[in-house]
Amino acid sequence: MEQYRAFWTFRRFDLTSDLAVTLNNYRWLSTAESILSPEPKCLEFIHRTAHAVASREIKLPEDKIEKLSSIRNGPLGRYFELLIGILFTLSPEIEASHSNVVVREGKTTRGEFDLLYKKDGNWHHLEMAVKFYLGVSDRTSAFNWHGPALRDNLGHKWERMSGHQLTLPKTDAGKNVLHGLSIGVVESEALILGRLFHSFSDWQANSFKTTQNISKNHANGWWIHARDAATFANTHPKHWLPLMKHQWLAQQKMHERLSKPNFKDLKHPQMYAIFEQIQQNQFQEIHRGFVVPDCWGPK
């Protein structure tokens, strides 16, 4: 009996912690700005529904919390898609929805519909991504906004979304899949959330150079080389919290002072949240950015 009671006490503790993290991410999603302009029509619905979940107006089932928690330390894009997809399963405004629908032509996979949903009697197709890009060189070119690992950039991502993912419903293979789901014409949209990181000097000067299709309201941050970060940390005594990837979405909390960061042995780009102390044992996140190795940059 004691073993049984101890198991459920442990389980409830896990659930409470997982729920707090999940609600914090929905709180972020309730105000998250589109990177692209114009913003997709669905974003207003996502904001409204995420707010209802974060404020507990819409109850988040335990199985959804567990599913999100189980993949939280995996690929951030997969977690993000599920975070949004759950909203479409919970909202009474949505009449039907399908997630991650694979499109095949014979034995060849042609792509995947991230989300198909029916609202107000009409079917919609949503492709989505969460991205964190650092701007280098001529930031008016989408190809000069790079992921921290330098494996992708905004230009290639948008080419892929606009030239392939958003046109999938118009292909024969896509039409066949839609027909099999009793779906006719769909309206397609792209949603990219996340953050753009400007060079530290531009960020300080509030000079945000971007491509024309970037929203002026995009979430922003800064990036800086390790050799310069140490000087900044010494001359601006704040509290630096290194973030794990699953912490990149929402604002984080900190309850105690941290030791000064050491950038000497930095091997990979590291995102930091910067805090200032507002009261004893109370800290507030004020901005965030990437510290990158001195050799970092596209070749």
pLDDT for the residue numbered 129: 98
Question: How is the chain split into domains, by residue range?
Answer: 2-292
CA 165 to CA 188: how far, in whole Å?
9
pLDDT for the residue numbered 92: 96
pLDDT for the residue numbered 281: 81
CA 276 to CA 272: how far, in whole Å?
13
Q: Is pLDDT above 80 for 247?
A: yes
Both structure tokens of 276: 């200032």
Higher pLDDT, 260 or 95: 95
pLDDT for the residue numbered 4: 36
Q: Is pLDDT above 80 for 225?
A: yes
Instruction: Report pLDDT digits (tens) over 142-192.
Output: 999 999 999 999 999 999 999 999 999 999 999 999 999 999 999 999 999
Instruction: Report pLDDT digits (tens) over 35-77.
Output: 999 999 999 999 999 999 999 999 999 999 999 999 999 999 9
Window from 7-11, 151-155, 254-258, 277-281 with minimum mean pLDDT: 7-11
Higher pLDDT, 8 or 244: 244
Q: Is pLDDT above 70 for 8?
A: no
Radius of gyration of the chain (CA): 21
Name the nearest CA neighbour of 292 among 274, 272, 266: 266
Instruction: Report pLDDT digits (tens) over 79-134.
Output: 999 999 999 999 999 999 999 999 999 999 999 999 999 999 999 999 999 999 99
Of all residues in the chain, what percent carry a pLDDT higher than 70?
95
Strand, coil or helix: 3 = helix
